[in-house]
Amino acid sequence: MSAKQAFNPYLPSWEYIPDGEPYVFGDRVYVYGSHDFFNGYVFCMGDYVCWSAPVDDLGNWRYEGVIYPRNADPLNKEGKMCLYAPDVTVGPDGRYYLYYVLDKISIVSVAVSDTPAGRYEFYGYVHYPDGTRLGEREGDEPQFDPGVLTEGDRTYLYTGFCGRGDKSRTGARAVTLDKDMLTVITDPVLIVPGSEYSAGTGYEGHAFFEASSIRKVKGRYYFIYSSEVMHELCYAVSDEPLRGFKYGGVLVSNTDLHISSYKPAELPMAMGANNHGSIEQINGEWYIFYHRHTNGTWYSRQGCAEKLTLNEDGSFEQAMITSCGLNGGPLEGRREYPAYIACNLFTEKHSLYLGEPGAPKITQDGRDGDEEPGYIAGMCEGCTAGFKFFDCKGVHRVSVTTRGYAFGGSFEVRTKWDGEVLAVINIDSTNVWETFSAEAAIPDGVNAIYLTYRGGGTAMLKSFTLE
């Protein structure tokens, strides 16, 4: 177990960094992503920032500050455009190159730094030898979500966006860049098809949508992407960087769809939307980084991570979403935990996508940037928050800290989402956070904790305590 317990989301509850690209540089893991705002009204409203953690203490994240402001690009001096999901690679010269696309321009921009956490300085635009920028030559498809991998003097760049019904976009495409990190030296090639071109390819139902990312695992190339259903990250594998990719499977779904170990495979346990992330090996273990949605919208996303199992044949098993992703094992079974680490959050309808009226949501007080702890709002009749996993020993009481207009309300405690009720915690309607508790016979061992609200009105859930 890490020196400090790690939760999901792995960053503070008031930080919103989706589209995470994790990399180990030296003895630290760095995460690069876009930057949402709490209560944001569009995607990626902030400057690029970076967080890092020691590889042997994945619960101890350090804020590295702003690494690249949105107005640093010459085409965005007024800062009107948003910085979409970036990626970073180490060039042949040992410097760190940041690739990104602005939200209104279909070309790839590049910034560079001497250190992983910057600050990065604008470097140039990816272009063909004649100076035409990639994305602007006849026949090019719009650039989006760059993923990069450098080997020797060459860098492979993967981009694309393919919405359903749009036949003008074929799928994820890749080019090779020269050692200057800007000049395209091989023409774009299709590596994974979009939904309009997936028939007969093996990608049916999991065709490319967006979120290109590339990694090398045991000599083979793994292309990670968000599929046409949006809530899942999938992967394709090849022995070569520009061709031969075959569909591998799902790495994670931010709804836990397809997972059948604790519920029916096609039953969603959280309300999903888009997804973006990648894999990285940390201290000999593989992890998938992804994001979840908060505040009931698409625009306030937070980074999460789960341990992956790599099989002998090179395949990855789909990871279950948990509250303890980077912890290396279950959380301690006797202490208070914040409600914002809920990995399952659903109503009796079990909606697959965001948008169900009256659904609960993870949110916070204050404005973006205020270091206010997250909590769950909108817990109404039949709403359930689930937390996984805890190493329970001698737990005989469960407490909840709540507020809100909850009339005749209570929380049922279970260790399975559809299991036996082990305790009922009666709560009062209250304007401030108050704690209520009940005796509960929680079995010893590794358990999930599910809290289901019963009663009138709605409750807000700040935390729960196992004691």
Residues designated catalytic: 19, 210
Cα dihedral sign for 339, 343, 344, 345?
Answer: positive
- Name 222's bridge partners: 215, 237
- 402: Cβ–Cβ under 8 A, 6 or more apart, which residues? 411, 427, 430, 433, 434, 436, 459, 460, 461, 462
Closest CA to 328 of 283, 375, 263, 271: 283
Cα dihedral sign for 341, 343, 349, 355?
Answer: positive
Closest CA to 361 of 427, 277, 300: 300
Cα dihedral sign for 182, 188, 194, 198?
Answer: negative
- Tokens 């996984």 locate to 388
